[in-house]
Amino acid sequence: MIDIRFLRENPEAVRENIRKKFQDAKLPLVDEVLALDEESRKNKLRADTLRANRNALSKQIGGLMAQGKREEAEAVKAQVAADARELQLCEEKEAEYAEKIQKIMMTIPNIIDPTVPVGRDDSENVEVERFGEPVVPDFEIPYHTEIMERFNGIDLDAARRVAGNGFYYLMGDIARLHSAVISYARDFMIDRGFTYCVPPFMIRSDVVTGVMSFAEMDAMMYKIEGEDLYLIGTSEHSMIGKFIDTILPEEDLPLTLTSYSPCFRKEKGAHGIEERGVYRIHQFEKQEMIVVCRPEESKMWYDRLWKNTVDLFRSLDIPVRTLECCSGDLADLKVKSVDVEAWSPRQQKYFEVGSCSNLGDAQARRLKIRVKGKGGKYLAHTLNNTVVAPPRMLIAFLENNLNADGSVNIPAALRPYMGGKEKLIPVK
């Protein structure tokens, strides 16, 4: 969410930003919020005037009574009462204006970084860099669920009977591999100086609207019926929410945290062949990283965060690339974002396994996350990035470490988490 003062002083810059995001339907909102802002400020000025008059007149009443001027004092009392009634109406209007302005401001997209490529959707995202050599083996790579089934490692039919589509049972070596990847990712981030955290898996509505746009909320979040609680779609939601309505000492920054959680997502609109299996599901587990920092440090942290993910995947012998998200593919709160994509030998293309985002002060403004420095208080910047998100990450792992005989290599970095195993041997 942008600052109302910025919009007031730079309305054309806000309009141009909306155009870059191909959200022209939101252009009238700029004039609408400016008109409301003007009325709100006029109303506030009148309220301030009435308060000042009330204080001045109240002082007169005592003096007039002391002088025996009862009639004049009663007239002043009547004026004070009339002003009080008008002030009450002004205060009610003030709350109404504030609510209307807030609602509109939360739908106007954040100002994107000047370096973000302009494009309509994810088809216009721009490849930045590749890490590792993509390999296509001389044997056929089965679909990921077929690989898992050779290890008796997955049961989708039972999951459908229990919970419906979009769920799974992982078992045996595949389940152990899933947990090993999460544990390895946790220790990988701890070794890089991040503090490990397990957050709440449910959050209140004020946190939901603080960390994401209304469109994201509708597409992702599961509501707990009868309670003001939502299941988290990622631990970033809880982790940023941890600092709601707080004032952080500047000397405590940056806050660098890595968090584990299950994630729950509606996945509205998911379709296509790659939605089969465990590629796009309603429940999964994830290791996340978040940073709360000073504004001048957010660019540096953005680059460090996505590099952490690249380094982790390369340590597991998985080729990856980074893809700069274009303007139309950025969620409304994001300033800049890069996807990390892993190589799929079966598809002979890359697919998304993580996303790193700089949200500037948008989340901090909504959640009132402030920093107290020598020069006063200011809003923090927040960033987040996926470390790993099995089971999608397992797809990349299994495909890139599969051998012709159906066995799967365990890279050295992961062996301590797999009981020292160097290979997984299929049972069928």
pLDDT in tens, 194-252: 999 999 999 999 999 999 987 788 888 999 999 999 999 999 999 999 999 999 999 99
Residues identified as active-site: 265, 280, 352, 355, 392
| Contacting residues for 75 by C-beta, under 8 A, at least 6 apart | none
Q: What is the pLDDT, as a whole number, of residue 271?
A: 46
Q: How much is the pTM?
A: 0.89
Within its chain, how far is the Cα of 230 from the centroid?
15
In this predicted structure, the answer to whether residue 70 has a pLDDT above a threshold of 80 is no
Q: What is the pLDDT, as a whole number, of residue 279?
A: 82
Domain extents in the chain: 4-105, 122-424
- Tell the burial category of 1 from Cβ atoms under 10 Å away from its Cβ (0-12, 13-18, 19+): buried
Residue 80 corresponds to which amino acid? V
High-pLDDT (> 90) share of the chain, %: 82
Whether 378 and 293 have beta carbons less than 8 Å apart is answered as no
| Contacting residues for 128 by C-beta, under 8 A, at least 6 apart | 321, 322, 323, 324, 338
Q: What is the pLDDT, as a whole number, of residue 50?
A: 87
Whether 324 and 338 have beta carbons less than 8 Å apart is answered as yes
**Average pLDDT, stretch 320-325?**
98
Q: Cα(285)–Cα(179) distance, rounded to whole angstroms?
A: 9
Which of 81-90, 285-294, 296-305 is least confident?
81-90
* Residues facing residue 286 across a β-bridge: 261
Tokens found for residue 301: 């942290």
Tokens found for residue 420: 């020292």
Place of tokens 């890595």: 258
Can you name the CATH fold of 4-105? Answer: Helix Hairpins (1.10.287)
Q: Cα(287)–Cα(266) distance, rounded to whole angstroms?
A: 19
Q: Cα(45)–Cα(36) distance, rounded to whole angstroms?
A: 14
Q: What is the mean pLDDT of the chain?
A: 93
For the domain spanning 122-424, the CATH number is: 3.30.930.10
For the stretch 28-39, pLDDT in tens is 999 999 999 999
